[in-house]
Amino acid sequence: MVGIVVVSHSPDLAAAAVNLALQMVHGSAPRIEIAAGTSDHRLGTDAAHVADAVVAADDGTGVVVIMDLGSAVLSAELAIELLPEPRIPTRLVPAAFVEGIFAAVVSAAGGADLDAVAREAEAALAAKITQLDPTRAQPGAVAADRPDTAIVAETKIVNQDGIHARPAALISGALASLDARVTIATERSPAVSARSPTALMSIGTRVGDVLRIEADGPDASKGVDRILDLVRDGFGELESTSSRIQAGFDSSSQRGGLETPLGVSSGRVVGPAVRMADPAIEPDPLTRIPEVERSSAITRLDSAAAQIAEQLRSRINAAGAVGELLEAAAAMATDPDLMADASRRVRDQGLSPERAAWEAFGTAANTIRGAGPRQAERVTDLYDVRNRIISTLVGRHAPDLPDPGHPYVLVAVDLAPADAAGLDATGCLAIITEKGGPTAHAAIIARSLGIPAVVGVPGASAIPDGTLLLVDGTTGELIIEPTIDQQATATARQAHRDVLSGPGRTADGHTVALLANVASAGDVAAALESGAEGVGLYRTELCFLDRAEAPSVAEQVSAYRAVFAAFGGRRVVVRTLDAGSDKPLPFLAYGREANPALGVRGFRTAVSYPEVLHDQLKAIKEAAEAESAEVWVMAPMIATVDEVRNFGHAARTVGLPSIGVMIETPAAVIQADQILIEVDFVSVGTNDLAQYAFAADRHSASLASLNDHWQPALLRMIDMVARAAATSDKPVGVSGEAASDPLLALVLAGLGVSSLSMAPRALAGVGRSLAAVTFEQCRRAARAACDADTSARAREAVREIAGHS
């Protein structure tokens, strides 16, 4: 990809403009380097710095340089002279700064070549010019010399704001890999190239406008279809019944409207909004401390960081499912590189320790934000840790959960693990966050505490304190200032301890075992309290996340026995270590991987570390013999029948009787019938199955709608597995987050799933939902959901069948 260098007098200005542009990239971003400020950290530019940035930004495709004012241009010109031979192809673009960066980033991400990226950046001001003065010529207009074979289509804009920056980037991205010349015109504006985001923005469309799309070339029809799909889908900006924001909440004034609200933890409640406390205030950049005081300032900085790490670690035990996230946050607080950077800023520049922490964490956040969506999720944690350190340094209370003295709906941009650990389900009625997806922290925490939650609500943090909100964590609905009638639809808050009233069954007696997902002693206690019929997923890797060495057999036996003893006489499905990707285990390291989610994870680690698998199976067997639980064992991340056979052989060798595997890859779905010949049961991990089926990172907030477990494609995959299980007369469970959705439980039961395993808090709701319908209703729900064309329609159809609408 063409690299981008941003030359500015101000690092803050450059970082903000780059961040804005990155919001528009859907997929990999180009390399972007910022050369801003002078070497002694004043406003200005530095040619040597620019030359270094050009070298760093180039991957062999060339580099486009966007500059702000006056001397930025001179520095960039000089930098080109300083480049080593052979010179990297470089274009210094006379572009508007913000628009130019946006256009360059989007077109480079779409695969445009060096000249095309430069052209896009230069023409980027066109959109604003035309918007302010429609009579001026359309800078991106293209000649209408279409061949007779051109494909022409017309469609109406259905989203309120038409083709603004984000839709323009989506269209240009959709065409990036196609060989076709595609233009778009409206009744009021001539045709412009559909590959050019800035030209597209310049035609100034609104809801109701008719677009005329014309295309020629080998991929013409694909190009037209892709645009038609995007337009009809309202570029993902349509309000749907599952994502309504009502009653005077003006979506056009919302910040960061990239996401679609998603209900992630069920329940419908009403309560007043209370926002998370404001984060730390930016420390003064101009304060300088005398040299003699710098070393004591560094000591204060180190001790504040150590204090925060300790505070975070002290909350781990009570944190249940988010304990490991707290551990990660604590590690950030004492990250040696980060702290060395902060100390350097105190020692060399004389910054105050709080300013140094602000800048060092800010730089780290910018770096990881550019490293991909999963890493970008860590930015919230990084800022949270930074704010805590700064608060400690200036003697303020750390930004923490509100304590208004009455029940409230917590409104936050996102929840850091440290916030989440302190959440109290009695005071917090519901959570809404601006960011996040179904597997984000806020979602996991809300489910484990049984608090209704909606994530990805654009502009949520602008809702004033005290505003009455109705939050439906099942449908994703959020109503601002609900009417009395609407308030009456909210269910009274379930009692704090909501327990399963008996084994899972439909009204007419069809049974579905309701099991708990556990990872820690805290989860086991919660599972027992909630009345779980057993454990459907024991995530063993979470017991050993912090270990440098593999745990000994004896140590494992004692950990497993504690869980088996708690569930004497009941089923406990133990999953062997699911290491790698988002759950790295130092003792199962596999080196750096460009794409860990597609790398050596789960059962794949057994190829390099067979002894770790063997020891674990031995420990499970020994613990099972010592307790009366009915122990089943399964392997994660299976993709082939060979892997299944290898696992089966290893488990049988130690004498384990009930052997299964997780179905988490599309390959395993397709060969489910053959896999089932080799094992006694299967368990569908819908979190990973959705991630791999939709090629959508499960941690990405902006891809949350693809990881929605109501997607009909995912449901059809579960159907395939359930059919194979029925044919072989073996049990099939679901243990991903899908299992905790009370409405979806009807669909899963109808598909023939025999057990659902979920966060303990979800058990009672799922149990009630099943008990309210007949098995025939479940079967109809399953058919309707699999036949639906979108997740919203699937949900809607099932709600109707269940009588909820």
Read off φ and ψ for residue 568, nearest 5 degrees.
-50, 135
Who contacts 678 (Cβ-Cβ below 8 Å, separation ≥6)? 641, 644, 645, 648
- Region from 166-174, 240-248, 682-690, 725-733 binding ligand PEP, contact rule CB under 6 A: 682-690
Please pick, among 9, 164, 441, 510, the residue that the annotation labels catalytic.
9
Task: Answer for the pair 354, 390: CB distance below 8 angstroms, yes or no.
Answer: yes
- The answer to the question of residue 541 lying near Mg ion (CB under 5 A) is no
- The answer to the question of residue 539 lying near ligand PEP (CB under 6 A) is yes
CB of 757 to ligand PEP, least distance (A): 8
In this structure, which amino acid lies at residue 313?
Answer: R
- The answer to the question of residue 324 lying near ligand PEP (CB under 6 A) is no
Sequence-ordered strand ranges (E) for 708-801: 732-734, 755-758
CB of 444 to ligand PEP, least distance (A): 10
Beta-ladder partners of 632: 573, 658
Retrieve residue 624's tokens.
Answer: 């099972």
CB of 417 to ligand PEP, least distance (A): 17
Task: Answer for the pair 621, 557: CB distance below 8 angstroms, yes or no.
Answer: no
Report the residue from 688, 719, 737, 741 that binds Mg ion according to the rule CB under 5 A.
Answer: 688
Distance CA 2, CA 118 (A): 10
CB of 613 to Mg ion, least distance (A): 17
Within residues 543-572, the interface with ligand PEP by CB under 6 A covers none
- Region from 115-123, 353-361, 685-693, 768-776 binding ligand PEP, contact rule CB under 6 A: 685-693
From residue 649 to residue 668, the character string flagging contacts with ligand PEP as x (rule: CB under 6 A) and all else as - is: ---------------x----
- The answer to the question of residue 741 lying near ligand PEP (CB under 6 A) is no
Contact of residue 735 among ligand PEP, Mg ion, none (CB under 5-8 Å per partner type): ligand PEP
Please report, in angstroms and rounded to a whole number, the separation of the first and last CA atoms in the chain.
49
Report the residue from 671, 686, 700, 705 that binds ligand PEP according to the rule CB under 6 A.
Answer: 686
Q: Can 9 be counted among the known catalytic residues?
A: yes
User: CA separation (Å) from 197 to 91, 139, 140, 466, 512?
Assistant: 19, 12, 10, 40, 51
Nearer to ligand PEP (CB atom), residue 288 or residue 547? 547
- The answer to the question of residue 685 lying near Mg ion (CB under 5 A) is yes
From residue 58 to residue 97, the character string flagging contacts with Mg ion as x (rule: CB under 5 A) and all else as - is: ----------------------------------------
Nearer to Mg ion (CB atom), residue 366 or residue 517? 517
Distance CA 4, CA 607 (A): 41
Report the residue from 627, 688, 708, 741 that binds ligand PEP according to the rule CB under 6 A.
Answer: 688
Distance CA 41, CA 288 (A): 12
Nearer to Mg ion (CB atom), residue 354 or residue 688? 688
Kindly provide the b/e burial profile for residues 317-331, where b requires at least 16 CB atoms within 10 angstroms of the residue's own CB: eebbbbbbbbbbbbe
Kindly provide the b/e burial profile for residues 742-754, where b requires at least 16 CB atoms within 10 angstroms of the residue's own CB: bbbbbbbbbbbbb
Nearer to ligand PEP (CB atom), residue 609 or residue 692? 692
Nearer to ligand PEP (CB atom), residue 256 or residue 666? 666
Nearer to ligand PEP (CB atom), residue 351 or residue 535? 535
**Three-state secondary structure readout of 673-723:** HHHHHHCCEEEECHHHHHHHHCCCCCCCHHHCCCCCCCCHHHHHHHHHHHH
From residue 644 to residue 673, the character string flagging contacts with Mg ion as x (rule: CB under 5 A) and all else as - is: --------------------x---------
Kindly provide the b/e burial profile for residues 564-574, where b requires at least 16 CB atoms within 10 angstroms of the residue's own CB: bebbeebbbbb
Long-range residue pairs from 478-481, CB within 8 A, at least 24 positions apart, any chain:
478/244, 478/245, 478/246, 478/249, 478/261, 478/432, 478/454, 479/244, 479/246, 479/247, 480/245, 480/246, 480/247, 480/248, 480/249, 481/247, 481/248
User: CA separation (Å) from 542 to 345, 380, 655?
Assistant: 37, 22, 25
Nearer to ligand PEP (CB atom), residue 361 or residue 632? 632
Nearer to Mg ion (CB atom), residue 338 or residue 684? 684
- Region from 300-308, 489-497, 681-689, 781-789 binding Mg ion, contact rule CB under 5 A: 681-689
- The answer to the question of residue 733 lying near ligand PEP (CB under 6 A) is no
Who contacts 711 (Cβ-Cβ below 8 Å, separation ≥6)? 690, 694, 791, 794
From residue 251 to residue 290, the character string flagging contacts with ligand PEP as x (rule: CB under 6 A) and all else as - is: ----------------------------------------
- The answer to the question of residue 578 lying near ligand PEP (CB under 6 A) is yes
CB atoms within 10 A of CB 634: 29
CB of 706 to ligand PEP, least distance (A): 15
Report the residue from 139, 223, 736, 742 that binds ligand PEP according to the rule CB under 6 A.
Answer: 736
Nearer to Mg ion (CB atom), residue 106 or residue 734? 734
Read off φ and ψ for residue 586, nearest 5 degrees.
-55, -35
CB of 685 to Mg ion, least distance (A): 4
Instruction: Give catalytic residues, as residue numbers.
Output: 9
Kindly list the residues in this chain that would bind ligand PEP in the complex (CB under 6 A).
Answer: 537, 539, 578, 664, 685-688, 735-736
Kindly list the residues in this chain that would bind Mg ion in the complex (CB under 5 A).
Answer: 664, 685, 688
